[in-house]
Amino acid sequence: MTLLQHDVIDFTLQAYQNDAIRTVRKADLLGHWSVLFFYPADFSFVCPTELEDLADHYDAFKQAGCEIYSVSCDTQWTHKAWHDANEKIGKIAFPMLADPTGALARDLDTYDEHTGLAERGDFIIDPEGRVVAYEVTSSNVGRDAAEILRRVKASQFVYEHTDQVCPAKWEPGDKTIKPSLDLVGEL
Angstrom distance (rounded) from CA 137 to CA 61:
21
Q: Which residue has the higher pLDDT, 143 or 179?
A: 143
Determine the topology of domain 12-143 in CATH.
Glutaredoxin (3.40.30)
Q: Residue 77: which residues within 8 A CB-CB, separation 6 or more?
A: 16
77 Ramachandran zone, left/alpha/beta (phi>0; psi -120 to 50):
alpha
pLDDT band at 4 (very low <50, low <70, confident <90, very high): very high
- pLDDT of res. 120: 97
Q: Where are the alpha helices (DSSP H) in the chain?
A: 47-63, 76-85, 103-107, 145-160
- pLDDT of res. 146: 98
Angstrom distance (rounded) from CA 83 to CA 179:
47
Is the predicted pLDDT of residue 113 greater than 90, yes or no? Answer: yes
pLDDT tens digits along 56-82: 999 999 999 999 999 999 999 999 999
Angstrom distance (rounded) from CA 187 to CA 183:
7
> Looking at residues 87-111, what average pLDDT do you find?
98
Percent of the chain with pLDDT over 70: 99
CA distances from 99 to 75, 128, 139 (A): 7, 22, 17
Q: Is 66 an active-site residue? A: no
Of the candidates 12, 16, 116, the residue with the CA atom closest to the CA atom of residue 76: 16
Q: What are phi and psi of 14, to 5 degrees?
A: -90, 150
What does the mean pLDDT of the chain come to?
A: 96
- pLDDT of res. 91: 97
| pTM listed for this prediction | 0.95
Q: Among residues 47, 66, 73, 166, which one is catalytic?
A: 47
pLDDT band at 138 (very low <50, low <70, confident <90, very high): confident
Is the predicted pLDDT of residue 137 greater than 80, yes or no? Answer: yes
User: Picking from 26-35, 94-103, 150-159, 176-185, which range would have the lowest pLDDT averaged per residue?
Assistant: 176-185
